[in-house]
A and B are shown apart, each in its own frame.
Chain A
Amino acid sequence: MDLGKIFILALLVNNIVVMRFLALCSYIGMTSDVGQSIGMGFAVTFVTVLATAATWPIYQYILVPLNLTFLQILIFILVIASLVQLVEFYLKKNVPGLYSAMGIYLPLITTNCAILAVTFENISFKYNFIQSISYSVGVSLGYLLAMILLAGIRDRMKTSPVPKFMQGTPILFMATALIGIAFMGFSGLIK
């Protein structure tokens, strides 16, 4: 499979949020403001690509030869957690505004299932290193795209007459489902 195909598949056809309903916690929690959602999206992109770049070699060159592939979950979580810690240090120093805006969601990237899913799938799809990077960039940009879409919709929702029983999270999930239906149009994009 060529890189462009993998990228488009991850970005649109199998979008991590609206098509596979992963990473919904930060997706709902961080989209109240477009600027914040973009910041969160890029933080996740950064961590995902770094995590892929770190976990793929560890798996292929250490875990497989040592016959320790059952340690995959433990090692991957460890690596992702420390990468998140690194991003946190960096943001605290250089972008304190975004750091305080993200609050609890920054540590929550640690357990963001999108990132863990990407690192596992790189292995199970038998991608090589370049393909893995392409896949992780595609997935995380797909996450960013979904974040911006919902943040924009939420801006409009603030002035819309949402029925009382749908206010808050329910209407967000409804909106996500509708975006998902729209994204199904991409499914014929790649044969």
Chain B
Amino acid sequence: MLSTILLTIGFSAVLAFLIGIALAFFNQKFKVERDPKIDEVRAALPGANCGACGFPGCDGYSEAVATGRAVTTKCSVGGSATAETLSKIMGIDGGGAAEDKVAVLLCQGTKEKTVSKGEYNGIQTCRAAKLSTGSVKTCSYGCQGLGDCTLVCKFDALAMGEDGLPHVNYENCTGCGLCVEECPQKILTLVPRPRLGSIVLCSNRTTLKASVIKTCKVGCIKCEICVKSCPEGAITMVNGIPVTDYAKCTSCGVCVEKCPTKCYKLLETDVFGTKKMVPVMEGAQA
């Protein structure tokens, strides 16, 4: 009995020892040289694997940074803090931190304020709706309201509101741009968080004033009052939409006041100031 126990212990120990030595030997023999900087950079990244940097996940980006193929400011999730850490690891000058951006929806066409073409019963994604109907609303530029953007968001920063529009939670939004890519209407855009000034929350680029009035109560009707009234001359019409030159804009609010359909808003008060986040309604999206 005792000899069996001793034999068991002895044999197991000897075998484990031999295997351990063999593995250590082969580990040395097949050793792969790996830049320790890759692991350092990887540890400094947030690990969201969102792909906003343009590389396949955080692993891909850390390898690119460590080998000098990519700049240190690409990570929009980590923002300036991460860029600084990466620059420190790589021993280079920061070269300007990553711009802190957030996604803004350039459409105010809620269910009440727009006219829909009819009841859409197809596949419940914006992309399918856009393909099959052109647009579920009579405005062919507006938000389809089926929440494709909320599904791709990895940071819980987008949710469909009761009004039929996605609402951005600007505290959670990291500016990774996944929703901007996903939106078939291309009406989400990235705006630097510290930016001050006015912005048009409408993407309707048709030049026919009457058609805008018919389709949407908050659409830009191309009256160009904003262009004429701006005391700084900061607003110009570009492709049927007024665009603010933020180098000139002083946030005086004249355009916001004068806009007859209230589609001009001030970024600091009306857009980022609201921070409203309406919880997802049951069945509001597919």
Contact residues in A for B16 (Cβ distance below 8 Å): 78
CA distance A92 to B31 in the complex (A): 8
Instruction: Mark B76-97 against chain A: 1 for CB-CB distance below 8 A, else 0.
Output: 0000000000000000000000
Instruction: Mark B28-56 against chain A: 1 for CB-CB distance below 8 A, else 0.
Output: 01111000000000000000000000000
**B12 near A89 (CB under 8 angstroms)?**
no
Task: Determine if B239 is an interface residue (Cβ-Cβ < 8 Å).
Answer: no
On chain B, the number of residues with a Cβ less than 8 Å from chain A's Cβ atoms is 16
Task: Determine if B238 is an interface residue (Cβ-Cβ < 8 Å).
Answer: no
Contacts of A57-78 to chain B: CB distance below 8 A: 58, 62, 66-68, 71, 74-75, 78
Instruction: Mark B10-26 against chain A: 1 for CB-CB distance below 8 A, else 0.
Output: 01100110010011001
User: Which one, A67, A74, A82, contacts B12 given CB within 8 A?
Assistant: A74
Chain B residue, CB-CB nearest to A92:
B32
**B32 near A82 (CB under 8 angstroms)?**
no
**B8 near A78 (CB under 8 angstroms)?**
no
User: Which one, A67, A89, A94, contacts B27 given CB within 8 A?
Assistant: A89
**B7 near A68 (CB under 8 angstroms)?**
yes
Contact residues in A for B27 (Cβ distance below 8 Å): 89
Task: Determine if A21 is an interface residue (Cβ-Cβ < 8 Å).
Answer: no
Contact residues in A for B31 (Cβ distance below 8 Å): 93
Q: Specify the main secondary structure of chain A where it touches its partner.
A: helix
Task: Determine if B121 is an interface residue (Cβ-Cβ < 8 Å).
Answer: no
Nearest Cβ on chain B to A80's Cβ, whole angstroms: 11
Contact residues in A for B29 (Cβ distance below 8 Å): 89
**A82 near B23 (CB under 8 angstroms)?**
yes
Chain B residue, CB-CB nearest to A75:
B15
User: Which one, B8, B11, B23, B32, contacts A85 given CB within 8 A?
Assistant: B23
Given contacts A78-B16, A86-B26, 13 further A-B contacts (CB under 8 A): A62-B11, A66-B7, A67-B7, A71-B8, A71-B12, A78-B15, A78-B19, A79-B15, A79-B19, A82-B19, A90-B30, A93-B30, A93-B32
Q: Which residues of B contact A (CB under 8 A)?
A: 4, 7-8, 11-12, 15-16, 19, 22-23, 26-27, 29-32
Q: Which residues of A contact B (CB under 8 A)?
A: 58, 62, 66-68, 71, 74-75, 78-79, 82, 85-86, 89-90, 92-94, 96
